[in-house]
Amino acid sequence: MLRRAWKPVAAAVAVGVPGYYAYRAYTAHPSFEIPIRTKGSDGKTEMVTRTVDILPLKTLEDRINQHASTKSHTTPGGTKWNYSTAFLASNDPIEDANATQVVQRDDTDPSAPGDYLFFAIMDGHSGTHTSQLLSKILIKAVALELFSLASNPSAQTKSTSGILSSAKRLITGSKPPIITPQGPLDADPKHVSNAIAEAFARLDHELINAPLRILANNLDEESKKNKVIPDLSQHPLALTSMLPAVSGSCAIMAVLDTAHEDLYVACTGDSRAVAGIWEPTEDGKGQWRIEVLSEDQTGRNPNEAERMRAEHPGEADHVIRDGRVLGGLEPTRAFGDARYKWPRPVQETLSQAFMVGNGKPLRPPPSLFKSPPYVTARPVVTHRKLTFDSSPSPPSQNSTTNTNPLRFLVLATDGLWDQLSNDEVVSLVAGHLSGLQGTIPKSTLPSLIPTTTGSSPGIDGKSASVVDRKKQAAQEGSWAFKDNNLSAHLIRNAFGGGNEIALRKILSIPAPYSRRYRDDVTVTVVWWREGAEAEAEVENVKAKL
């Protein structure tokens, strides 16, 4: 999560191409200088310069592709699902995380054959603890909620504080799926969307309340009577429970239900999901339609700002300040971030019980803190049919476009969207899938890969300076089509693309200084095409959660 205001690389680190090569002629180790903040001998902050060696392109290309992977899965219905993931760190260690899981329906499921495909990306902040934990349990929590929906619909209306502890009961439950006159409940988008949202909210409830339960279980009668806070800093679950609660993470998840041809995107925070759909045109050439499937949930999103002010009417003037919650946290929805959720006395008590003895006392809440919770993990869930049909009208009879249209979905942390627009991401993926290779001027790509905006342009929750910088960058330079992995391809183009010098400079800046210029970035791309029956592999596998 990029916390600081963007400092344009062009102003801070870039030099002209002729100047770079002239400089390179006089040294075997080209370098450049960047401004950094440091504390002087008097304790005051001052700006100094640091020399950064420009790393070889091959070294940086290896880094871009180091954590890149591509996999595929073919369903019994004949659709081949391809998906790639790649990530690149700015923080050390990286605060992003990701997870993928395919759950196949068994023979007893009335909706079989078909699968659930889960893709999740977590964007951590203030540490790795929340995002790493979510990468292990978020998909499982959602899968369990969907299983509960089908086997026990009344669970949707019951309050629960133990979704994780009830996992075994849910998995081994023997109740048959509930069938209504309208069909299985897990085929109803309203029920499924609510189940996904409940899974997110309940999991965050578990994270936030775990330290309180540990404290309650370790209070003896004397401590209660004398109101003494015990020192639990050496309790085996002290940091294990506290750190995921006080650090934070955004999360975005795509759930693809191939049995019912449904796509659900759940967004908590300012990661983003965008889809590209190839569709025919009357001239027979076709174009890519851009569908934005989430909104950036920050204080700069008018919808989120209005919601926050409505929930805190007595603080409407400052609950969102400078596009941030109480002037501090950028996302308005996130897991963890207990500093914005626990009441002040709870924060003080838990800090004393668990953190002081570990030399890690909690920071006090923001000065404007009055009526928590200010932040929620409950996501906004968007539903689309996997066909993405926007109108019932059939394609033109004169169209020569493939009747089995190609479609793709991009999930990424805001480290990508800080650099690229929705249009650019769709064009870059579409161009890659179309077989483009080499270096292509940015001004040329729109004519090669025509696009059109779909039902919603989305809301960019970034500051005006970031938006303006992206607009300026979109008119200059070139794109590079060099990487086989689609996710790595997007990462390369986010940080320079065909401009080798710019790419080498921004990726050569080491942590922690790199955080002024780029964020951690994680990208997952999913693409599919109907009509691959010949490649279908029929296999019945029970869900392993």
Q: Of the candidates 412, 434, 398, which has an alpha carbon nearest to the alpha carbon of residue 494?
A: 412
> Does residue 85 contact residue 77 with C-beta atoms inside 8 Å?
no
Torsion, Cα of 530, 531, 535, 539 (10° steps): 60
Strand partners, 490: none
Question: What average pLDDT does the segment 129-148 reach?
Answer: 96
Q: State mean pLDDT over 389-410.
A: 52
Cα within 13 Å of Cα(141), Cβ side: 27
Q: Look at residue 474 in the predicted model and tell me its pLDDT.
A: 67
DSSP type of residue 459: -
Q: Facing residues of 273 across strands?
A: 411
CA atoms of 99 and 5, how far apart (whole Å): 29
Q: Three-state SS across 347-364?
A: HHHHHHHHHHHHCCCCCC
Report which of residues 17 and 504 the model is more confident about.
504
Q: Are strands 248-257 and 451-453 parallel, antiparallel or unpaired?
A: unpaired
Name residue 272's beta-bridge partners: 412
Nearest partner of 89 among 509, 405, 475, judged by Cα: 509
Q: Collapsing DSSP states into helix, strand and coil, what is residue 7?
A: coil
Residue the block writes with tokens 């070889």: 56
Question: pLDDT by residue (tens digit) across 469-514?
Answer: 666 766 689 999 999 999 999 999 999 999 999 999 999 999 999 9
Higher pLDDT, 478 or 10: 478
In the predicted model, is pLDDT for residue 392 greater than 60?
no
Instruction: Please name the amino acid found at residue 135.
Output: S
Q: Which of 159, 380, 123 is nearest to 266 (CA)?
A: 380
Give the pLDDT score at 196. Answer: 98
Percent of the chain with pLDDT over 90: 68
* Listed residue (27, 28, 26, 48) closest to 37, CA to CA: 48
What is the structure's pLDDT at 393?
A: 32
- 8, pLDDT greater than 50: no
Return the minimum-mean-pLDDT range out of 258-272, 453-467, 530-544.
530-544
**Helix segments in 102-220, DSSP class H:** 129-151, 167-172, 189-217
**Range 267-278 average pLDDT:** 96
State pTM to two decimals. Answer: 0.86
Place of tokens 């929590």: 141
Please return the burial class of 87, using the count of CB atoms within 10 Å of its CB with bins 0-12, 13-18 and 19+: buried
Q: What is the rounded CA–CA span in Å between residue 205 and residue 347?
A: 16
Main-chain dihedrals φ then ψ at residue 407, nearest 5 degrees: -135, 150
Please tell me the predicted confidence (pLDDT) of residue 542.
31
407 or 9, greater pLDDT: 407
| Helices assigned H by DSSP within 4-128 | 9-12, 17-24, 57-65
One-letter amino acid for residue 133 of the chain: L
Q: Which two tokens stand for residue 542?
A: 């029970």
pLDDT in tens, 121-132: 999 999 999 999
CA quadruple 146, 193, 130, 490: dihedral positive or negative? positive
Dihedral (Cα; 497, 501, 503, 507), 10-degree rounding = 170
Count of other CB atoms within 10 angstroms of residue 11: 8
Name which residue leads in pLDDT, 29 or 51: 51
Which residue from 245, 236, 167, 249 is spatially nearest to 212, judged by alpha carbons? 245
Question: Are the C-beta atoms of residues 251 and 95 closer than 8 Å to each other?
Answer: no
Rg (CA), the chain: 25
The DSSP secondary structure of 367-384, one letter per residue, reads: TT--SS---B-PPEEEEE
Confidence of residue 154 (pLDDT cuts 50, 70, 90): low
CA distance 461 to 467: 9
At residue 335, the pLDDT reads 98
Stronger pLDDT, 362 or 112, i.e. the higher one: 362
* Top mean-pLDDT range of 2-16, 30-44, 99-113, 117-131: 117-131
Name residue 542's amino acid.
Answer: K
* pLDDT of amino acid 113: 83
Residue 373 above 70 pLDDT? yes
Domains and CATH numbers, the chain: 9-396+406-535 (3.60.40.10)
